[in-house]
Amino acid sequence: MINQKENFLNVLLEPLNFEFMRNALIMGILMGILCAVVGSYMIVQQMSMMGDMIAHSIMAGLPVAVFLRWPLSVGALLAGVVSAVVLSGIESQSRLKLDGVMALIFSSFLAIGTTLVTVLPGANRIDVIHILFGDILGVNQNDLKLTFAITLIILIGVWLFYKELLFYTFDPIGAQAGGMRVRWYYLGMVTAISLTVVASLQTVGVLLVMGMLVAPGITAYLLVKELHQMMIVGGCLGAFASIAGMYLSYYLDIPSGSAIVLVAFGLFMLAFLFSPSQGILTQSSFVKDINH
C-alpha cells in the first residue's frame, strides 16, 4: 500500500521537476478557466460558430503584424474583431443567412492570411504549424503574463457587467428595447472571444481552440442550470482537462493540445451519459425502457 502511494506521488511530482511542465500546467489552468467563462456565453447565445470563424480569421492579422513589427497577438486580435464587425455589418444590411456569411468570412480571411504570408516581406517566418496546433510546452513567462492579464480582464468584466450580460444573453430584443446599447455588448463579446483565441494560440492552436471554448461549457450545461454555475463548473472542468491532458501528454508522448481537448471531450461524454438530470443513461424514460 505504501509503495502504491509512493508510486502515485512520483507520477504526480516527476513532471513538476521541469520548468516547461510547470509553465504549461499554469497556462493550461488559466486557459481552462478563460475558455469556460467565454465559452459559456457563446453557448447560451448560440455563437459557437462565430468563435470558430474568429479563430480562423485571425490568420489574416498575423502577417500584417510581422510586417509592421507588432506583436502577433495585436494583429490576431484586430483581425478577429474586424471579421466579426464585417459579419455584423453584412448580416444587418442584407437578407443573407448568418451561417452563409460566416462561411464566406471564414474562408476569405483565411485566404487573405495565407496570401499575405507569401507577399509581405518577412511574413514567411510565421510558423503556420505552430499557429494551427499550438505548442503549450514552449510557453514562457511573457506568455503566462499575457494570458493571466487577459483572464483577469475578462473575469473582472464579467463580474462588473454580469446582470447586463445575463439580460442581453437571454433576451437581446428586450435588452435593446430597454435602452441597452446592445451593439457595445456584442462588440465586447466579440473582443472577449478574440482575446481568448489569441491566448489559446500558444496552447492548443487555432484548429483545437474551439474544443476548449465549447467542451467545458456544454459539459457544465448538462450538469447545472444557472449561467454563473455553468461558468464555475466549466472553469473547473477546463482546468482539470488541461492538467490531465498535460500529464497524459508527458507520459504517453502525444501532442499536448490534442490530449487536452480529448480529455475535455471525455468529460463531456461522461456528462452526456451520466448527468443526473440530462444523461441519456440516467433519464427516467431510458431507465423505464430498460426495465421493461
Domain CATH code at residue 19: 1.10.3470.10
Residue of 153, 254, 156, 162 whose CA lies nearest to 199: 153
CA distance 80 to 286: 43
CA distance 177 to 171: 10
The residue count for the chain:
292
| Of the ranges 78-87, 137-146, 235-244, the best mean pLDDT one | 235-244
C-alpha cell at 38: 467565454
Domain count, the chain: 1
Query: What is the pLDDT of the chain when averaged over all its residues?
Result: 88
Read off the pLDDT of residues 69-98 as tens digits, 9 standing for 90 and up: 998 889 999 999 999 989 989 988 888 888
C-alpha cell at 138: 514552449
Q: Are 179 and 198 in contact (CB under 8 A)?
A: no
Residue 291: pLDDT over 80: no
CA distance 240 to 118: 40
> Residue 104 has what pLDDT?
92
C-alpha cell at 16: 513538476
C-alpha cell at 78: 484586430
In three-state secondary structure terms, 161 is coil
Residue of 44, 67, 80, 49 whose CA lies nearest to 200: 80
In three-state secondary structure terms, 281 is coil
Question: What are the respective helix, strand and coil percentages of the chain, to the nearest 5?
Answer: 85, 0, 15
Neighbours of 21 (CB within 10 A): 19
> Which ranges in 122-181 belong to alpha helices (H)?
128-133, 141-160, 162-170, 172-177
At 9, the pLDDT band (50, 70, 90 cuts) reads: confident
- 235-239: list long-range contacts, CB under 8 Å, 24+ apart: 235/32, 235/33, 235/36, 235/37, 237/32, 237/36, 237/264, 237/267, 238/31, 238/32, 238/33, 238/35, 238/36, 238/212, 238/264, 239/28, 239/29, 239/32, 239/33
Q: Are 186 and 50 in contact (CB under 8 A)?
A: no
DSSP notation for 87-132: HHHHHHTS---HHHHHHHHHHHHHHHHHHHHHHSTTGGGS-HHHHH
CA distance 13 to 137: 17
Read off the pLDDT of residues 193-209 as tens digits, 9 standing for 90 and up: 999 988 887 778 887 88
Neighbours of 181 (CB within 10 A): 12
In three-state secondary structure terms, 52 is helix
Residue 229: pLDDT over 70: yes
> Residue 124 has what pLDDT?
85
Q: Which of residues 23 and 98 earns the better pLDDT score?
A: 23
CA distance 60 to 109: 5
C-alpha cell at 143: 506568455
> Which ranges in 45-97 belong to alpha helices (H)?
48-57, 61-67, 72-92
At 182, the pLDDT band (50, 70, 90 cuts) reads: confident
- Which residue segment(s) compose the domain that 269 sits in? 2-291
At 52, the pLDDT band (50, 70, 90 cuts) reads: confident
